[in-house]
Structure 1
Amino acid sequence: MGRPRTPLLDRERITTTALELLDAQGEFSVPQIARRLGVQTGSVYHHVEGRDGIIELLRERIAEGIDIAALDLKPWDTAMAALARSYRAAFAAHPRAIPVLMTSPVRAPRILELYERAVALLLDTGFPLPDVMPVITGLENVVLGSALDLAAPETMWEIADSTATPHLAKALDAIGDHRADRAFELALEGFLLQARHRLETD
């Protein structure tokens, strides 16, 4: 029997399969990937460095949707806002990946490049070195929290008796469409306002 024209296994297929499992069930394992691809578990390890290696491949794959060029925009807060929106959109497409990606240190070259450029931007802007990583991490907290919120139902509160919670009922009636988007923009605006204040007072 001749060799198959298309290889049964490579890093691209492993990443795609892991992401499909993650999107469907919020988790993946190397044996699950092997079964889905029709290979032995040991064969997967010939292409990746175990689970942690797959997590970094997933991080790289999802990060392809982040527009790093946003960091070239001026001024700095416009750049950070554009990056935040792009970052949020990339992770909102795969919200179940967020908890899994938080379990291992970042080693993926594309992500490290993003951080390097963000750090350089903030330093060039005048942020003191001790404030740089808190600013970046704070922005990530806003972005990733909102990405998870986008995966939630549009209506997160079910009120059986509006007389018991009249203020909540009125607030929900008034919120309109795109609740998650509006909340994200409010949080982003507040975060950037505080970052500007820190920059001006340090």
Structure 2
Amino acid sequence: MGRPRKALLDRERIGATALELVDEKGDFSVPEVARRLGVQTASVYHHVDGRAGVVELLRERVTDAIDPGTLHDASWDQVLAAWARSYRAAFAAHPRTIPMLMTSPVRAPKVLAQYERVAELLLDAGFAPSAVMPVISGLDNIVLGSALDMSAPKVMWEVADGVRAPRLSAALDATGPDRADQAFELTLAGFLAHCRELLERQAP
């Protein structure tokens, strides 16, 4: 028999399979990935550096959905707003990856390239180097927290019979179906306004 035209196993298939498992159950193991692919666990390790390597494949697959065009051709605050919206949508499609990815160091070169662009943008705008990572981390927190919020139950506050909370109940009754989107835009606007003030205070 001739050799197959296409490799039976590659990093793309490993990442896709791990993402399927996380979407289904919130976690994965390398042996589970191997079983689903119909290969030996050792074969997976031949392509990735253990579990941490698979986590970075997950990160790459999720962030591939972020529009790279958002990181160009606008003022720093407009770029951050557009990037944050696309970033949020990408992770909202796979919310179960968030706890895993938030607690693992970012190593994937494709993802680091996006953060490099954001750091460049902030430095070029005049932010002090010491302010860059707090700004990036703050934006991460807003985006990923909101992406989780989008996967939450439609009703997150349930006022049971006999519980007196008239103001909260009235607020809940007045809330529309786009509560998560409104909360995200409110928080993002406040964050960017604070960043503008920070930049102004740094001006000589």
Is 2:97 aligned against 1:90? no
Q: Distance in 2 between matches of 1:162 and 1:79?
A: 48
Equivalent residue for 1:37?
Answer: 37
Amino acid at match of 1:124: D
Q: Whole-Å Cα distance in 1 between the matches of residues 148 and 94 of structure 2?
A: 9
| AA matched with 2:20 | E
Greater displacement, 60-69 / 13-22: 60-69
The answer to whether the 8 Å contact 1:162/1:169 transfers is no
**Whole-angstrom CA distance in 2 between matches of 1:201 and 1:37:** 55
Question: Whole-Å Cα distance in 2 between the matches of residues 103 and 182 of structure 1?
Answer: 27
Give me the whole-angstrom Cα distance separating, in 2, the residues matched to 1:142 and 1:87: 11
Contact residue 154 and residue 179 of structure 1 kept, 8 A: no
User: What is the TM-score with the length of structure 1 in the denominator?
Assistant: 0.94
Write the distance in 2 (CA, Å) between the matches of 1:156 and 1:162.
Answer: 18
2:23 — aligned with what? 23
Pair 42,128 (structure 1): closer, same or farther in 2 beyond 3 Å: same
Per the alignment, residue 200 of structure 2 pairs with 200
CA distance in 1, matches of 2:7, 2:132: 45
Match of 1:103 in 2: 103
CA positional deviation for 1:69: 2.3
- Identity score, percent: 64
TM-score, normalised by the number of residues in structure 2? 0.93
Are 1:60 and 1:110, in contact at CA under 8 Å, matched by a contact in 2?
yes
Q: How many residues align?
A: 202
Structure 1 segments unaligned to the other structure (5+ residues): none
What CA deviation, in whole Å up to 9, does each residue of 1:137-196 have, x standing for no partner?
Answer: 111110000011011012112222276111111010111111111100000001001001
- Alignment-derived partner of residue 182 in structure 1: 182
| Structure 2 counterpart of 1:134 | 134
**2: CA distance, partners of 1:33 / 1:100:** 16
Equivalent-residue separation in structure 1 for 2:30 and 2:163 (angstroms) = 51
